Chains A and B, each alone.
Chain A
Amino acid sequence: EAGVAQSPRYKIIEKRQSVAFWCNPISGHATLYWYQQILGQGPKLLIQFQNNGVVDDSQLPKDRFSAERLKGVDSTLKIQPAKLEDSAVYLCASNHLRGVPYEQYFGPGTRLTVT
């Protein structure tokens, strides 16, 4: 089966600009996650979707970050305006059943550099 797809793989922007990332999860996976991974750290959950509804966005900086998952399939994560501290890898992951401890499948990530 095809894995989790993300684009772009790399993005360089200046601070105060906006940027968007796209994720297409594995077909049939109802749950989709966006993580932020700063260099040298583990991934930190930003937002979790179940189909097209938000399950958890407690760590999403809502003044500048937004995410949507229209139709419960692919998803976009947007940052507007970007700050220097947003430089990180943004990982998308998915899995298919809520309530069962299944592994998460990760995409390759988008490396964002804010200058």
Chain B
Amino acid sequence: SQQGEEDPQALSIQEGENATMNCSYKTSINNLQWYRQNSGRGLVHLILIRSNEREKHSGRLRVTLDTSKKSSSLLITASRAADTASYFCATDRVRGAQKLVFGQGTRLTINP
């Protein structure tokens, strides 16, 4: 079963704008990861945030985690056409098991 639910399912913005995607999950987690998938390709890891962290940055990416609300957000600043892809959150619930449960994803389109 899917653990996370991304919102929105699809997002279309102009190049240069910021894109925000949200992820909600149901059970307690050890960590939450975000992945990107370009059309016809495998997934690429973007960032991992542990359950005891509240915010993390990597380049133009900013991830927040609110364990009390069981939610996370991914912000991409100054978007580029190359950011067009699907973005998935994945939660790791069982310590040591390394088993990820993925959400349905947000399809992001950056218009030039």
A positions within 8 Å CB-CB of B: 4, 31, 40-45, 48, 55-56, 91, 93, 95, 98-99, 101-109, 111
B positions within 8 Å CB-CB of A: 2, 4, 30-31, 33, 35, 40-45, 48, 50, 88, 90, 92, 95-105
Chain A: which residue is nearest B9 at the CB level? A40
CB distance from B62 to the nearest CB of A (A): 18
**What A residues does B30 contact at CB under 8 A?**
101
- Report yes or no: B42 in contact with A41, Cβ–Cβ below 8 A: no
- Report yes or no: A98 in contact with B45, Cβ–Cβ below 8 A: no
- Report yes or no: B31 in contact with A42, Cβ–Cβ below 8 A: no
- Report yes or no: B44 in contact with A106, Cβ–Cβ below 8 A: yes
Chain A: which residue is nearest B2 at the CB level? A42
- Report yes or no: A48 in contact with B98, Cβ–Cβ below 8 A: yes
- Report yes or no: A45 in contact with B92, Cβ–Cβ below 8 A: no
Given the complex of chains A and B, what is the CA–CA distance between A42 and B103 in angstroms? 5
| With A106-B43, A106-B44, A107-B42: A101-B98 Cβ-Cβ less than 8 Å | yes
- Report yes or no: B2 in contact with A106, Cβ–Cβ below 8 A: no
